[in-house]
Structure 1
Amino acid sequence: MLDQVKRGLLLSFFIILSFVIIAGCSEDSSSKGDNEESGDSGTVTLRMVESLTSPARTELLKGMIATFEEENPNIKVELISPPLQSADEKISQMLMAEEDIDVLEVRDQTVKQFSNNSFIEDLSAYTSDWEHWDSLNDIAKHGATAIEDTPYFIPYGIYEKTLFYRTDWFEEAGLEVPETWEDMYKAGVELTDPSQNRYGYSFRGGAGSSDYVEFMTWSYVGEDIVQEDGYFTKDGEPMFDTSEAKDALDMFVKMYEDASPPDSISWSYPEMVQGFTSGMTAMLIQDPEVIVTAEENMEEGTWDTAPLPKGVPSEVAQQTAGTAGWGIGAFSKHKEEAWKLISFLSSPEQNLHFAKNNSLIPVHKSAGDDPFFKEGYFSSYIEMNAKPDEYLIADRPVDYKGWGEYRGIAEKDIQSLLLGDMTIDKTLQKWTDYWKSQKEQQ
């Protein structure tokens, strides 16, 4: 009987001990999970996704991130680099799925969509205390706060167009660097020789062609354009409903027909740059990222850059100043750490490094004193920014519901125009009617 009692007590003891062990393990497991979720366990991992990807740029970012991680050993960064062609779509899908993205690339063409859908954070709470906010140049600040005067991203660079030209071809022909579109057309015609597969201009007739009609029209219409409402003039009418717009579109067609390779009717960015760097064309209008490509593929002293050609008779050039940068995802669980990474990447020192190695116009005022940008190929960009009365900035009408649809319509119309299936008057009337309708819906 006594042995039975002992066995019963011993069994009860083991049962109780088992419950204690199980409970202890459960508590440890729960505590560990809570610590990892809050970041208290030690290391926080940030998920960062870029949009304008390229192998060289991704490696550049990885190097900068490595420096950040060395200075912040408790933060690790996972860089996600989707293919360029589908990157914006991929980012949108991730945001719609409310994925935990901490830092993401935001561009002037995506910030409206992201902010309207509450996908990105208002950075005002961070920028109000950021020591480098006031050192940003005016274009960078304008890009950062373009939506409702609210900073949704910190630009890492500015995309502006300038003229690239073959100095050796111009010297050989005894030509001056063009200052207006009329000058450019005359030089382009003179430098065109199809028998030698040489043409005056790298025309863009394919994807993105509407951008070129856009800034040419702005330059011809000139100061009558409303900067904040870039497709309208000061009388409230669409810019396409002007005689200057007709002159601009006529020049656009003439540049193709008389001074450009026939197959440039379908050229987009890669083809037009290749046309210039391969020795087929004498002139190209493009962003500063082409500088690196030209340096890698062309002999030194055979090419240079110059300010954007001006309209006639406006005597001004006008374009949009594209910006892109880093924002914080609304569903991030580590917003403070995310801002720490953004502020590091956006500091004057790191931004200068990124701009130099990615061929961009930097965002801080102090960069204008750096010989790298003050002299040489970047000097034309600095010159334009130093003359705001001659080289104007206009904003695309991204706030209008039909903005995205218009770009597709315009590119199809441009193809029809260049093929002779539409007249200049009919094309301009179609665009005028479209934007009048958009204005009425605002």
Structure 2
Amino acid sequence: MFLQKGMKTVSKLTISSAVLAMVLAACGDNENANSSGASNGGGGGEKKVKLRMIESLTSDTRTAELQKMIDAFEKANSNVDVELISPPFDQADNKIRTMLSAKEDIDIVEARDVNISEFVNNGYLEPLNDYAKNWSEYATVTKTALDVGSLGDKLYFISNGLYQRQLFYRADWLQEAGIAVPKTYEELVDASIKLTDKSKNRYGFSFRGGSGSNSVPESMVLTYNGANVNTDDSMFLKDGKSIYASPEAKQALDLYLKLFKEGSPADSVGWGFSEQVQAFTSGVTAFLLQDPDVINSLKDGMEEGTWATAPMPTGPSGIALISAGGAGWGITSFSAKKEAAWKLIEFLSDNEQNVEWSKSYGTIPIHSTATEDPFFNEGPYKTLLDMTADSNTFVNFKPPFIYPAYSKFGTLSMETGQRMLLGQATVEETLAAWAQFWVDAKAELDASK
């Protein structure tokens, strides 16, 4: 999300369970921590346990699916009651921060790749290593899923699904206009401009200038810097400079600005996730860069055959930098019911539950055994496998989740980016602000060590 989703190292594998493992790349106080929530229901005489959990990436469909899974857990564990708190999507992260900082009665929290460092730095999350090592299905959880929920050698949340971006496009529009599916960012911008017809309320690109807007310019700047990027510290080049302080960054951001001005709706300067997806499904835009959680919305809202997926666009050097990310369930450090909380997480995270969750919500499962299900290696998900199989072209990088300041970058980049899009700041001024943010963030991180 990344959702508001965040993004989350993936190595070359063959198309097997290991391949999907990479793509899945791009989540009662007296109970025993190694027992399975599905198989150990509470007895009649056991003390009733009340768990409170809060989710972050809320939507009506997602919350309903999560509640269905919780109901099944409660049926199998009659001594546990679970209260699910589902704030509105655009308020959820702030509400979670407020509740955690006040140490309110919350046992399970949906943490995300974009805020794991912040939460750990503030002491909000309990390490899960000792719980997970006794979990019978731990061995099939993919390395990518574990990396997303970890800092250093400590696991802080179990991913409930993984995200990895790909290109969604209107196959019917391209065929009608005789335009090939874009393979590069330059081709994407050119096609977006050609398909834009304001008199018909048709535009090329589903732009996102509001919350979460940093994902596309960040992806373009990374891809334009290509092999010069330090993939283990991706906001910096191999020479130590910020990715935003390079000539390639200006080339990428100039193209990004052109995409907005000539190939996107003017009001998309304020669009967030919902608006950009709605524009694509309603027939306003031709291209959308998003994670697989939009697939079900596209299936529900568009005619079969009118849309399709393609790999992420490449840059001038012929490569694209990609990553996987996700959110998942963690236990608060101040919970008095950690054993019961783990039992619920274990239940929600088992292969059966996670596969159903991924199918209904549109994420990539966290277990390598999901390759046995053709649902995930056919259709719109196949693009993700194709990218993983071609690691020479689609190079994986580690997003900067180790930086406590990372959660603040989204706000900074949105505000400064909007000023640039509206002509109130230059590309050079915008890049300078982004570069300085990461220089300061690195100094802060180094000082804390």
TM-score class, shorter-chain normalisation, is: 0.7 to 0.9
Q: What is the aligned counterpart of 2:441 among 417, 435, 438? A: 438
Assess, with a 3 A threshold, how the Cα gap between structure 1 residues 279 and 95 changes in structure 2: closer, same or farther. same
- AA in 1 matched with 2:190: K
Give the SS at the match of 1:209.
coil
Within-5 A mapping of 1:24-103:
41-103=46-108
Identity %: 45
Looking at structure 1, the residues matched to 385 and 241 of structure 2 have their Cα atoms a distance apart, in angstroms, of 33
- AA in 2 matched with 1:408: T
Within-5 A mapping of 1:194-213:
194-213=198-217
Assess, with a 3 A threshold, how the Cα gap between structure 1 residues 91 and 434 changes in structure 2: closer, same or farther. closer
- 2:350 is the counterpart of 1:334: no
1:405 deviates by 4.0
Looking at structure 2, the residues matched to 358 and 396 of structure 1 have their Cα atoms a distance apart, in angstroms, of 24
Within-5 A mapping of 1:335-350:
335-350=338-353
Aligned counterpart, 2:360: 357
Deviations 1:153-209 (A, max 9, x none): 100101221111001011111222111112212221221222222111111222222
Assess, with a 3 A threshold, how the Cα gap between structure 1 residues 232 and 196 changes in structure 2: closer, same or farther. same
Within-5 A mapping of 1:1-400:
41-145=46-150, 147-313=151-317, 315-400=318-403
Task: Using structure 2 for the length normalisation, give the TM-score.
Answer: 0.85
Give the SS at the match of 2:127.
coil
Task: Using structure 1 for the length normalisation, give the TM-score.
Answer: 0.86
- AA in 2 matched with 1:387: D
1:401 deviates by 5.2
Q: Which moved more, 1:83-92 or 1:335-344?
A: 83-92
Q: Which moved more, 1:277-286 or 1:260-269?
A: 260-269
The answer to whether the 8 A contact 1:318-1:394 is kept is: yes
Gaps of 5+ in 2: 1-28, 31-42
The answer to whether the 8 A contact 2:161-2:363 is kept is: yes
Assess, with a 3 A threshold, how the Cα gap between structure 1 residues 98 and 414 changes in structure 2: closer, same or farther. closer
1:266 deviates by 2.1
Give the SS at the match of 2:245.
coil
Assess, with a 3 A threshold, how the Cα gap between structure 1 residues 161 and 243 changes in structure 2: closer, same or farther. same
| Structure 1 stretches of at least 4 aligned residues deviating more than 6 Å after TM superposition | none
Looking at structure 2, the residues matched to 95 and 207 of structure 1 have their Cα atoms a distance apart, in angstroms, of 22
Q: Which has the higher contact order (CA 8 A, sep 6+)?
A: 2
1:404 deviates by 4.1
Assess, with a 3 A threshold, how the Cα gap between structure 1 residues 115 and 164 changes in structure 2: closer, same or farther. same
Give the SS at the match of 2:110.
strand
Looking at structure 2, the residues matched to 334 and 430 of structure 1 have their Cα atoms a distance apart, in angstroms, of 44
More helix by share: 1
- AA in 1 matched with 2:390: K
Deviations 1:250-271 (A, max 9, x none): 1101111221122222222122
The answer to whether the 8 A contact 1:100-1:329 is kept is: no
Give the SS at the match of 1:312.
coil
Looking at structure 2, the residues matched to 93 and 403 of structure 1 have their Cα atoms a distance apart, in angstroms, of 18
1:289 deviates by 1.7
- AA in 2 matched with 1:186: D
Looking at structure 1, the residues matched to 294 and 275 of structure 2 have their Cα atoms a distance apart, in angstroms, of 12
Gaps of 5+ in 1: 1-33
Looking at structure 2, the residues matched to 161 and 115 of structure 1 have their Cα atoms a distance apart, in angstroms, of 26
RMSD of equivalent CA atoms = 2.1
Q: What is the aligned counterpart of 1:417 among 393, 407, 420? A: 420
Looking at structure 1, the residues matched to 86 and 240 of structure 2 have their Cα atoms a distance apart, in angstroms, of 42
Looking at structure 2, the residues matched to 117 and 398 of structure 1 have their Cα atoms a distance apart, in angstroms, of 15
Looking at structure 2, the residues matched to 49 and 409 of structure 1 have their Cα atoms a distance apart, in angstroms, of 26
